[in-house]
Amino acid sequence: MKINIFDDHSAMNFEPISLTRPVFGIRYGAGTLLDRIQRMCSEDSLTLWTRQELRDLTNELYPPFNVNQKPTEDSIWLNGRVIWTRELIDELKNTPSTLFIQNDSLVGANLTRTESSEWLDSGGTNSIFHPKGKIQNMTGVPIVNYLWDFLSFIPDAVEESREIDYDFSIADSVVIDESQGSVVIDENVIVEPFTYLSGPLYIGKGSFIASHSKIINSIIGPGCKVGGEVSGTIIQGNSNKVHDGYLGDSYLGEWVNLGAGTTNSNLKNNYTPVSMSVNGKEIDSDRLFLGSFIGDHTKTAIGTQLNTGTNIGIGCNVLAQSFPKRHIPSFTFCIRGKNRPIKFDNFITTAQQVKHRRNMELSRTEIKVLKTLFLSR
């Protein structure tokens, strides 16, 4: 059966991570939300739908799939920010000519080719409209609305990753504590001596955990170098936080580098819920613990201190002797609390060097997306 996985109008609620990838490309345990759907729909043909500015990059990131291609047959539509189960997907498959909603969110749809075409012409993935008016409410559907919601799913995501059984290297003096959840270590991971690992915890392929580290209740993506103390945090992949310092209840994108001693606060002194700037609005997270969200290719200097609920965009350099502002726009050079734009050509040169160190290249498509984001900042 034809299955379309789509981003909806809420994609920017997941900035800065969603600036450079679709929401269904955000990490969930050993893979991404897309990887989960792919495993559950292995016999189905998948098409991806994302924002037009990410179309070419999505094609490059996921070459097996068509992107933003109108269906030529009856199709299932799945919102990429839903934590799908086989039972929910089967319910959609068995209920034709129907849009499924939960509160104000479009969860999915089962439409004929003609209905899909009319629906797309009327707003499609950003619209709750059906040509024949058949709309069904769904309840209890697990759906993420903001980036911090992913932090709440860390235990479930780690448990889903338990099926992994790979070779890895850990020293005899490493303590693995599974009293609160599973510890899943992927292939080619190195864990140095005198490290404490406490579940729920997933460590991705080829990652390195430095000695004397304490890693708790987190998801570490592939190719990361991690040290110090990390708790309640997700790292998308290929990022470095290898020195001492605390990182708690946070989300890091790719190609992030935190300088030695970088530390974030994740709890306000008055013990009230943390708010964060998201897509130009200050949003109450309703979470007592919330640290920092840091976009791709951002770097902090040694000794940087980040306040509770800090959102840093992509391509930033943060050099601060005290707490910088809680919202730092993308492509910003933040020094001693003052912001100025970075030079794009210098940024690209550094990004190329960073990826080259991992035997990877910054593609023309990536540069095009980054340039578009730079010009629109």
**Do the Cβ atoms of 210 and 229 come closer than 8 Å?**
no
Task: Reduce the DSSP state of residue 345 to 3 states and report it.
Answer: helix
Q: Residue 220 pLDDT more than 70?
A: yes
Percent over 70 (pLDDT), the chain: 97
Q: Which of 98, 50, 58 is nearest to 74 (CA)?
A: 98
Instruction: Enumerate residues 6+ apart whose C-beta is below 8 A from 47.
Output: 2, 3, 4, 5, 65, 66, 67, 69, 71, 75
* DSSP H/E element including 2: strand 2-6
Please give the structure tokens belonging to residue 222: 């592939």
pLDDT value of position 132 = 63
* DSSP H/E element including 27: strand 27-28
List C-alpha distances in Å: 250 to 4, 86, 112, 133, 264: 30, 29, 41, 41, 9
Q: What is the pLDDT of residues 178-217, one digit of tens each?
A: 999 999 999 999 999 999 999 999 999 999 999 999 999 9
pLDDT value of position 337 = 75
* DSSP H/E element including 251: strand 251-254
154-376 CATH pick, 2.160.10.10, 3.40.50.2300, 3.40.1190.20, 2.40.30.10: 2.160.10.10
**Do the Cβ atoms of 77 and 6 come closer than 8 Å?**
yes
CA 126 to mean position of chain CA atoms: 21
pLDDT value of position 169 = 79
| Mean pLDDT across 247-273 | 97
User: Where do you find CATH 2.160.10.10 in the chain?
Assistant: 154-376
User: Where do you find CATH 3.90.550.10 in the chain?
Assistant: 2-145
Confidence of residue 165 (pLDDT cuts 50, 70, 90): low
The CATH class, in words, for 2-145 is: alpha beta
| Mean pLDDT across 285-290 | 97
pLDDT value of position 377 = 80
Q: Residue 54 pLDDT more than 70?
A: yes
Q: What is the pLDDT of residues 226-237, one digit of tens each?
A: 999 999 999 999
